[in-house]
Amino acid sequence: MSILIQNIKELIQVEEKPRLKVAGKEMANLKTIKNAWLLIEGDRIKEFGRMSEPYKYDKKNAKIRIIDATGKMVFPSFCDSHTHLVYAGSREIEYIDKIRGLSYEEIARRGGGILNSAKRVHESSEESLVKESMTRLNEIIMSGTGAVEIKSGYGLSVEDELKILRVIKKLQTLSPLTIIPTFLGAHAIPEEFKGKQREFVDLVINEMIPQVVAENLSDYIDVFCDRGFFTVEDTDRMLNAGMKFGLRPKIHANELDYSGGIQVGVKYHALSVDHLEYTGEDEIQCLKGTETMPTILPGAAFFLGMEYAPARKMIDAGLPVALASDFNPGSAPSGNMQFILSMACIKYQMLPQEAIHAVTLNGAYAMGLSEEYGSICCGKKANLFITVPIPSYEFMPYSFGNNKVETVILNGKVIKE
Ligand code: NIG
Ligand code: FE
């Protein structure tokens, strides 16, 4: 089956020659084609061009579906490279506590925070976690996401970490989204290991990592390397152990302090370092010329009322930047990448062109997917969406909070219309 989309007002983020990521000044250079067509064959983008040179097809051919996109634009699907969307229940009670003035630390001391979610995951069956997570996946499909990373991290024991990763594996078979699982055994110190942090790190190294690899549940290892969580030394040990098993780091770094997380991530060739609210000149220099994608999570900074990461400085210094949702019950209970796109422009002074690259190609890079996803390029997977009629692509971030995604095509199949 083929799909021909015709009369596209503007085809966004086209690439003649595929790139793995976009950095610095290049991020503002967004390629588009006005008044375009695009042909999908099977699960891939076959060809695209201008309506002035229309694609010729046999009108009697029943194997080609024509979609008219007059007044509408086509974007590559969002690539959301950082989420924790397998969780049980929600934590709006803590959110009310926060409004009443309690700090994140006080909430955690009362049994809230990551440990609260871990308790709920422990009490949930794999089936119920699959069901809850499928609802969230369907929600993000409707808002334009086509590929998503999901971390474990609400297990904090061998058994429950494996449970979450098995749930993610099941979701890969049930959802039309492309899903990348990441092992995050070191997300917080569980109650029974308080004061015995080194022993918990040993558990991650000696038991969790080998079992995750034996069951082939993830290619990536994450650590929350920050003040009050895991130290640089803990992180160094876990990343080193993970890499011996072939796991590549993708880490939480510098959300709460200048934690050294960025430096240890770069040292171990992390695919991405994420959060980055505390990024100074040293961190920017350390990231320059490396394979590590700096990834910013606007949802968490917004929801927790934190400082915003210096995205503008990073791009001006020549770095690439990816943006992700961080969809999780504690600090970012939304996976809406259209909102993230708006936040990039409103709060991080990113131009719409830069923000679009950050939520597509650079996000794909941060999941190891940019050869196949993240732009409109011949031969890449046909993961894209058609908007409602909009006046310009800048309207996408401008019109914040409103859904502009109308038709969703994932791996060549129409999922929503
Ligand atoms: O990415 N920073 C660490 N972890 C999550 C928050 C988890 C939670 O509060 O449940 C994050 O923001
Ligand atoms: Fe996170």
Give the Å distance between the CA of 35 and the centre of ligand 1: 43
Q: Is 380 in the pocket of ligand 1 (CB under 6 A)?
A: no
Q: 3-state secondary structure string, the chain?
A: CEEEEEEEEEEECECCCCCCCCCHHHHHCCCEEEEEEEEEECCEEEEEEECCCCCCCCCCCCCEEEEECCCCEEEECEEECCCCCCCCCCCHHHHHHHHCCCCHHHHHHCCCCHHHHHHHHHHCCHHHHHHHHHHHHHHHHHCCEEEEEEECCCCCCHHHHHHHHHHHHHHHHHCCCEEEEEEEEECCCCHHHCCCHHHHHHHHHHHHHHHHHHCCCCCEEEEEECCCCECHHHHHHHHHHHHHCCCEEEEEECCCCCCCHHHHHHHCCCCEEEECCCCCHHHHHHHCCCCCEEEECHHHHHHHCCCCCCHHHHHHCCCCCEECCCCECCCECCCCHHHHHHHHHHHCCCCHHHHHHHHCHHHHHCCCCCCCCCCECCCCECCEEEECCCCCCCHHHHCCCCCCEEEEEECCEEEEC
- By the 8 A CB rule, do 370 and 20 touch? yes
Where along the chain do the CATH 3.20.20.140 domains lie? Answer: 78-365
- What does the pLDDT read at residue 1? 84
Provide the β-strand partners of residue 122: none
What pLDDT is recorded for position 103?
83
What's the pLDDT score for residue 257?
94
Gap from CA of 248 to ligand 1 centroid (Å):
20
- Please report how the helices 352-359 and 337-347 are oriented relative to each other, as an axis angle in degrees rounded to 10: 140
Q: Kindly state if the Cβ of 255 falls inside 6 Å of ligand 1.
A: yes
Q: Looking at ligand 1, which residue's alpha carbon is closest to its atom 10?
A: 330
Q: What pLDDT sits at residue 110?
A: 82
Q: Is the CB of 328 under 6 A from ligand 1?
A: yes
Tokens of 92: 């709006």
Query: Using alpha carbons only, how large is the chain's radius of gyration in Å?
Result: 21
Tell me which residues have their CB within 5 A of the ion that is ligand 2: 326
Class of the CATH-defined domain 78-365: alpha beta
Residue span(s) of the chain under CATH 2.30.40.10 come to 2-76+376-416
The per-residue pLDDT for 111 is 82
pLDDT the model gives residue 58: 85
Q: What is the pLDDT of residue 162?
A: 98
Entry pTM: 0.97
Ligand with minimal distance to 105 CA: 1
Going by alpha carbons, the residue nearest to atom 7 of ligand 1 is 330
Going by C-alpha positions, the residue among 153, 267, 129, 149 that lies closest to residue 208 is 153
Q: Looking at the structure, give the CATH architecture of the domain made up of residues 2-76+376-416.
A: Roll (2.30)
pLDDT of residue 62: 79
Output the CA 90–ligand 2 centroid distance in Å: 16
In the predicted model, residues of the chain with pLDDT beneath 70 are none
CA angle 347-351-352, nearest 5°? Answer: 100
CA of 153 to the centre of ligand 1 (A): 9
| pLDDT of res. 57 | 87
Q: Is the CB of 329 under 6 A from ligand 1?
A: yes
The pLDDT of residue 105 is 73
- Provide the pLDDT for residue 67: 97
